[in-house]
Amino acid sequence: MAVRMNLQRACATYRNFNRRLSSGVSHEEPDFLNMVRANFDKAAKFSGMDAGLLDVIKGTNSLLQISFPLRRDDGTIEAIKAYRAQNSHHCQPCKGGIRYSPAVDLQEVEALAALMTYKCAIVNVPFGGAKGGICIDPKKYSVGELERITRRYTMELKKYGFIGPSVDVPAPDVGTGAREMSWIKDTYTMLFGHNDLFAAGCVTGKPASQGGVDGRTEATGLGVFYGTREFLSNAAFLGKHGIAPGVEGKRVVVQGFGNVGFYSAKFFADAGARVVGVIEHNGAVYRAEGLDVAALKLHHAATGSLCGFPGADRELGPGAAADMLFEPCDILIPAALERAIHGGNAARVRAKLVVEGANGPTTPLAEEILERQGTVVLPDVLMNAGGVTVSYFEWLKNLQHVNFGRMTKRWEEKGKHALITTLRRERRRA
């Protein structure tokens, strides 16, 4: 078993080495997992805790790597690789998203699970960290194939004890959403939850009709906005870095136009900021006066690309899209994948404030470079914690079987009625 795990780690390291070379990230920088651990060690020095206990916290409790067959629509059979990591059992259940991406591997989910542990601790949500993924490009599979993959993955997780409302509760991540979470919930409750009153709490991020809560979809992007808005209200700190307080009028560039990126852009635009640039893997668009975020989203959904949007002054094709990261702006929000800003490009960033919407988008070396040039970095473990915070309330709703507000509705009505009655009485006396 130990030999197999070592071989798996070696293979993962080799794949990541090749991926770093192809993405332009310096191979002298640590991989994603060691990057997370380096940041942990940097912070742990100030904790005063026992070194052995810190090693326990830094480690990963449980790892799962599985492979299962998929019969595709054309009749061919394909082997699907999937993973799940549980970083910490200090609080249960474990909590973390499931991503569908061809870049998913064991070290990536292990790193993301560790970030989830720290994130839950920071926002005081009683979960241990977890993360899962399936190594596929969801755009290359039909809806029926994706459903079969998701349902089989759910059964495999249950088989090995990696899912359950009191064990491990997944959520959406890159490449997944409410649809996939509803498939997971349906599979779990149908096969394993017939005697479990709390079975609907096996997963969060579900549609509201399936036990989800309103606001979960936009929660992460809204958290990015709220965290930035709060930071921009600290006039004393901002003055030291030459940043004007307030959101209104700020120039914003967003990398990634999925769930987190879109809602971050939307809330900044609604608050009066100018979203001047948006970046995707296959193109980027720019408008100095600010882009129409809602119209851009409709265009992206219809065409699959940002390019060709009539409301843009300038656009960059797939090969040059990442150069939009280096446009002058007040706020840069990397909300795509990890390691977007690294030692090879950090010096070109001209933003005053980098707000980490994705997990691990800035490497340790890049952070040092940004700090030297006066750029403030707001970390992912706080800025994108809105999703898991709202997921906590969804999980509670599924366990309690009581919709939010039902217990207090009558009391609130009585109090407001009494207030109105008093105001009317005093008005008649006047």
- Give the C-alpha separation, 430 to 210, whole Å: 52
Q: Rg of the Cα trace of the chain?
A: 23
Q: 131 catalytic, yes or no?
A: yes
Q: Which candidate in 95, 131, 158, 266 is catalytic?
A: 131
The two tokens of residue 196 are: 């479990």
| Cβ proximity of 252 and 268 under 8 Å | yes
The two tokens of residue 141 are: 């599979």
The two tokens of residue 169 are: 């509760």
Angle at 38 between CA 157 and CA 62, to 5 degrees: 20
Strands 251-255 and 329-334: parallel
Pure H helices in 232-329: 235-240, 259-270, 293-303
- Which phi and psi (to 5°) does residue 267 adopt? -70, -35
Strand partners of residue 351: 329
Torsion angle (degrees, nearest 10) of CA 277, 27, 60, 390: 0
Strand partners of residue 70: 78
CB contact burial 150-178 (16+ within 10 A = b; e otherwise)? bbbbbebbbeeebbbbebbbbbbbbbbeb
Q: Which of 139, 17, 152 is nearest to 79 (CA)?
A: 152
The H-or-E segment that residue 234 falls in is none
Residues catalogued as catalytic? 131
